[in-house]
Copies of this chain bind each other. A is one copy, B any other.
């Protein structure tokens, strides 16, 4: 296939769309991030790329804790809202009707309506230019019981949002199951 060079661009498909929770000046706040990925397994760790100066980064630096909340597609408007407006200017918890819970960490607020919540302690913050990469250790995962199958979180029940750049930035749903990992590739084994 004919390829076009687009220059240095942060192109990854798919990206998740998560609500990062922090406590800023004593108040819970949530902001939407797509630049997020698991970075290790033992201990489980996760990274979020946050632009310098953001209200969320202020909260992380104040408390060195944060949460990652995975919204279902039925929270698309709230998720988008938390990506447009700053907690410095409005109370997004109130605006979105979020019910806020806490687990073991005092500064990692969790959104009750999100089917998956991760409590994180900051391990590293790297300055990567425009963004700080915050690496957190996941100390607890909370999952809605209705989103479990045989005790494991099931993406078809969680129904997370995909964030996609493109001609216009869009949210996509997760589609059908295509195959089983660590299995279907064995068909190519000579």
Q: When chains A and B are docked, how far (Å) is the Cα of A43 from the Cα of B8?
A: 8
Q: Is the CB of A12 within 8 A of B40?
A: no
A146 to chain B, nearest CB (A): 6
- Among A33-66, those with CB < 8 Å from B are 34-47, 49, 51
Q: In the complex the two chains form, is B8's CB within 8 Å of A139's CB?
A: yes
Tell me which residues across on chain B come within 8 A of A77, comparing CB atoms: 179, 184-185, 187-188
Count the A residues whose beta carbon is within 8 Å of the partner chain — how many? 115
Which residues 77-117 of A sit at the B interface, judged by CB distance below 8 A? 77-85, 95-96, 103, 112-113, 115-117
Check A128 against B39 for contact (C-beta < 8 Å).
Answer: yes
Least CB distance, A189 to chain B, in whole angstroms: 7
Q: Which residue of the partner chain, among B8, B155, B172, contacts A178 with CB atoms under 8 Å?
A: B172
B188 pairs with A167, CB closer than 8 A: no
Give A6-38 as 1s and 0s: 1 = Cβ < 8 Å from B's Cβ atoms.
Answer: 111111111110100000000000000011111
Contact of A144 with B184 at beta-carbon distance under 8 Å, contacts A37-B37, A41-B49, A179-B80 already known: no
A131 CB contacts on chain B under 8 angstroms = 39-42, 45
